[in-house]
Amino acid sequence: MKIFSESHKTVFVVDHCPYMAESCRQHVEFDMLVKNRTQGIIPLAPISKSLWTCSVESSMEYCRIMYDIFPFRKLVNFIVSDSGAHVLNSWTQEDQNLQELMAALAAVGPPNPRADPECCSILHGLVAAVETLCKITEYQHEARTLLMENAERVGNRGRIICITNAKSDSHVRMLEDCVQETIHEHNKLAANSDHLMQIQKCELVLIHTYPVGEDSLVSDRPKKELSPVLTSEVHSVRAGRHLATKLNILVQQHFDLASTTITNIPMKEEQHANTSANYDVELLHHKDAHVDFLKSGDTHLGGSSREGSFKETITLKWCTPRTNNIELHYCTGAYRISPVDVNSRPSSCLTNFLLNDPRYKIDGSLEIPLERAKDQLEKHTRYWPMIISQTTIFNMQAVVPLASVIVKESLTEEDVLNCQKTIYNLVDMERKNDPLPISTVGTRGKGPKRDEQYRIMWNELETLVRAHINNSEKHQRVLECLMACRSKPPEEEERKKRGRKREDKEDKSEKTVKDYEQEKSWQDSERLKGILERGKEELAEAEIIKDSPDSPEPPNKKPLVEMDDTPPVEKSKGPVSLLSFWSNRINTANSRKHQEFAGRLNSVNNRAELYQHLKEENGMETTENGKASRQ
């Protein structure tokens, strides 16, 4: 695919000279008598379009199809030529729609048959067309800026579609020469300019149109290379429907379009509301949509389209979609379409059906960058147990009010209040000795005692809240509340610890929490499988450490200092898995590869005191282990 091919820029040059006001001599009956009307009325005489009207409506149809299928990056510049060139729009995307063009055309109006033909010429328009092709489009500009030193890769090609009434073949030759010369001159100008681009390739499509019934003075000529930059082709076409058909063929050639006819679409009859008949609708779209059909050899080619003779259409049978669209289907391509006959009743029935999505639509876009979403995912996953049996708090309805808001970037006073209420509620539950949903899977007997259950729950809740204390000062307040409420006489805590083997469960939950790094390093370890063997040797050592009575038991847990970075191996009382051993090993290895956190550097026994300033502010002594000695 090439974005900047010839079809990036199309210039229409339509002749607005006096002879274009001539009738195309194809009559249109517009006064169609409706049934049951008074007898004896003579219908009004049919009217006919001028050459100008035929040219303009055919070019508008070309643009309609092009804009439908390529709403972006395919641009049209419309020029009208008489005693001078009137450029009706620019390359900017805002100018690229039918309404703008129609309004501009209305302002120009039909050609004046009484104007002096000597002053008028299509040449003005052709010169302006070359000029406008040298002008850079916003897409070209953007691509050049983006490519920096490779800016020269951005091509400048274009197509000029000129609709005129030529006098002879030599007149046509003169027009071609003029375009070629103008390109030559303007390329020289563009070479010395920053906002102009040299034309690398220009396709000139000259359409000579003349009233029906007259002989053409100009002969058709297929595409011919006039110079390395310019190719030209000549079409001699009768006005009226013939001209429209020609431009329809051209738009398909120029933009690689193909046709599909949807057949057997059931539609309600206008006259009899409760009956329905089947209709066919022909659509145009990029021909890539047919690639797979053609490959499969099953071309469904259904004769030529109703329009007649010139092109093939693939027929597809309508299939009324089921209403629930929550299934994903494999889709290799989606293509924009444009109905061939946009205003026919079957076409508009189909497009209205497709557009009338029952779902709510809003105008404009949600002005929220994706980065915010990533940020939110980061916050929500700071503490996320993967297994239901490894979490207590996420099995408790009572925790929901806190858990749902603590992950937010900032909290309102009301949020803080709700969190505090949640904590008080939990204290209350503990006082009443309410049971907790602690999983007993994998443990023998009834599982931990009630007070132990609460300890596990409080630990987990603390972990959750702690993961978010840096979000805001209000998060900090929630933690303070939590620590104040859960605190127990230290003796009791100590007694419990000595008295009871710590639950594996708790370790697990803390481990999950502990550090996302761990899991990651496990994955790293996967990649380093080759050195697994060495790890096994060290496993023996690890086991000794684990069983050693010397393995350090954390000192008194003190609020705000419990940033426990001790590797799980040392904490774990259960058998050490190869994984946890390996994780530690890799953690250690990895920690050498990055700059150490200030906290860890300043730590003693892997403990760093956090928020010392808070204590100082509160007039408390820092009691933690020998910080001074280090400095």
Partner 1 sequence: MPTVVVMDVSLSMTRPVSLEGSEEYQRKHLAAHGLTMLFEHMATNYKLEFTALVVFSSLWELMVPFTRDYNTLQEALSNMDDYDKTCLESALVGVCNIVQQEWGGAIPCQVVLVTDGCLGIGRGSLRHSLATHSQRSENNRFPLPFPFPSKLYIMCMANLEELQSTDSLDCLERLIDLNNGEGQIFTIDGPLCLKNVQSMFGKLIDLAYTPFHAVLKCGHLTADVQVFPRPEPFVVDEEIDPVPKVINTDLEIVGFIDIADISSPPVLSRHLVLPIALNKGDEVGTGITDDNEDENSANQIAGKIPNFCVLLHGSLKVEGMVAIVQLGPEWHGMLYSQADSKKKSNLMMSLFEPGPEPLPWLGKMAQLGPISDAKENPYGEDDNKSPFPLQPKNKRSYAQNVTVWIKPSGLQTDVQKILRNARKLPEKTQTFYKELNRLRKAALAFGFLDLLKGVADMLERECTLLPDTAHPDAAFQLTHAAQQLKLASTGTSEYAGYDHNITPLQTDFSGSSTERM
Output 67 or 454, the one with its CB closest to partner 1: 67
Our finding on whether 450 is near partner 1 (CB under 8 A) is no
Name the residue nearer to partner 1 (CB basis): 198 or 625: 198
Instruction: Please report, as residue ranges, which positions from 151 to 180 form the binding site for partner 1 (by CB under 8 A).
Output: 153-155
- In the complex, the smallest distance separating the C-beta of residue 255 from partner 1, rounded to whole angstroms, is 15
**Region at 304 (left for phi over 0; alpha for psi -120 to 50; beta for the rest):** beta
In the bound complex, what is the minimum distance in angstroms from residue 516's beta carbon to partner 1? 4
Q: How many other C-beta atoms are found inside a 10 Å radius of the C-beta of residue 351?
A: 16
- Does residue 580 interact with partner 1 by CB under 8 A? no
Q: Is 13 in the site for partner 1 (CB under 8 A)?
A: no
Distance of CA 630 to the CA centre of its chain: 54
Which of 67/91 has CB closer to partner 1?
67
Place of tokens 């006073």: 413
By CB under 8 A, how many residues form the interface with partner 1?
A: 114
Q: Between 496 and 520, whose beta carbon lies closer to partner 1?
A: 520
Q: Are 173 and 180 in contact (CB under 8 A)?
A: no
Report, in Å, the least distance between residue 410 CB and partner 1: 11
**Tokens of residue 551, six digits:** 């393995």
**Closer Cβ to partner 1, 41 or 273, answer by number:** 41
Report the nearest approach of partner 1 to the CB of residue 444 (Å): 19
Q: Which is nearer to partner 1, 48 or 263 (CB)?
A: 48
Locate 364 and state its tokens. 């404009």
Q: Which of 205, 135, 161 is nearest to 60 (CA)?
A: 161
How many angstroms separate the CA atoms of 207 and 209, rounded?
Answer: 6
Task: Please report how close the Cβ of residue 44 comes to partner 1 at its closest, in angstroms.
Answer: 6
Binding flags for partner 1, 127-156, as an x/- string (CB under 8 A): ----------------x---x--x--xxx-
Residues in 275-304 that interact with partner 1 by CB under 8 A: 292, 295-297
User: CA-CA distances (angstroms) from residue 540 to 21, 270, 526, 547?
Assistant: 100, 86, 20, 11
Nearest CB to partner 1, comparing residues 147 and 589: 147
For the CB of residue 238, give the shortest distance to partner 1 in the complex, in Å. 14
CA-closest candidate to residue 166, choices 203, 213, 239, 216: 216
Q: Which residue carries 């007993």 as its tokens?
A: 440
Q: Which is nearer to partner 1, 244 or 416 (CB)?
A: 244
Is 344 among the residues that bind partner 1 (CB under 8 A)?
Answer: yes
Q: Which is nearer to partner 1, 339 or 567 (CB)?
A: 339
Nearest of 34, 199, 48 to residue 133 by alpha carbon: 199
Judged by CB under 8 A, does residue 181 bind partner 1? Answer: no
* 347 binding partner 1? (CB under 8 A): yes
| H or E element, residue 66 | helix 51-69
Distance CA 400, CA 431 (A): 20
> Which of 319, 628 has the CB closer to partner 1?
319
Please list every residue from 22 through 61 that binds partner 1, using CB under 8 A.
Answer: 28-32, 34, 38, 41, 44, 47-50, 52-53, 56-58, 60-61
* Rounded Cα gap, residues 222 and 239, in angstroms: 20
Stretch that binds partner 1, among 215-223, 339-347, 428-436, 549-557 (CB under 8 A): 339-347
Nearer to partner 1 by Cβ, of 423 and 569: the residue is 569
SS3 165: coil
**What's the one-letter identity of residue 161?**
I
| Among the listed residues 114, 322, 329, 501, the single contact to partner 1 using CB under 8 A | 329
d(CA 87, CA 90): 8
Rule CB under 8 A: is residue 6 a binding residue for partner 1? no
> CB neighbours of 379 closer than 8 A, spacing ≥ 6?
407, 408, 409, 468, 471
Segment lying near partner 1 (by CB under 8 A), choices 332-340, 433-441, 496-504, 604-612: 332-340
Q: Closest separation between CB of residue 377 and partner 1, Å? A: 4
- Rounded to 5°, the CA angle 127-132-136 comes to 150
Q: Would the CA dihedral through 628, 555, 586, 512 be positive or negative?
A: negative
Which range binds partner 1 by CB under 8 A, 251-259, 270-278, 359-367, 446-454? 359-367
Among the residues of 88-155, which ranges form H helices?
98-108, 123-134, 138-147
10 Å CB burial of residue 435 (0-12, 13-18, 19+) is: exposed
Site for partner 1 in 234-263 (CB under 8 A): 241, 244
Smaller CB separation from partner 1, 290 or 455? 290
What is the per-residue binding string for partner 1 in 103-122, x denoting contact by CB under 8 A?
x-xxxxxxx-----------
Q: Is 148 left (phi over 0), alpha (psi -120 to 50) or beta?
A: left
Site for partner 1 in 365-394 (CB under 8 A): 365-374, 376-382, 384, 386-387, 390
Question: Which residue from 334, 544, 598, 628 is in contact with partner 1, where contact means CB under 8 A?
Answer: 334
| Residue at token pair 């931990």 | 448
Tokens of 211: 């009233």
Asked if 4 interacts with partner 1 (CB under 8 A), we say yes
Cβ 517 to partner 1 shortest distance, Å: 9
Q: Enter the tokens of residue 217.
A: 């003075």
Q: How far is the CB of 495 from partner 1 (least distance, A)?
A: 34
Cβ proximity to partner 1: between 329 and 593 the closer is: 329
Q: Which of 331, 531, 544, 598 binds partner 1 (CB under 8 A)?
A: 331
- We find the least distance from the C-beta atom of residue 402 to partner 1, in angstroms, to be 17
Contact indicator for 88, 357 with CB cutoff of 8 Å: no
**Residue 478 CB coordination number (10 Å):** 25
- Segment 516 to 555, residues that bind partner 1, using CB under 8 A: 516, 519-520, 522-523, 526-527, 529
Beta-bridge partners for 209: 237
From the list 223-231, 358-366, 566-574, 620-628, the region that binds partner 1 by CB under 8 A is 358-366
User: What are phi and psi for residue 356, nearest 5 degrees?
Assistant: -80, 65
Query: Which residue from 54, 254, 280 is spatially nearest to 160, judged by alpha carbons?
Result: 254
In this structure, the strands spanning 257-268 and 301-304 are unpaired
Residue 565 found at the interface with partner 1 (CB under 8 A): no
Enumerate residues 454-513 that contact partner 1 by CB under 8 A.
512
441, two tokens: 């899977």
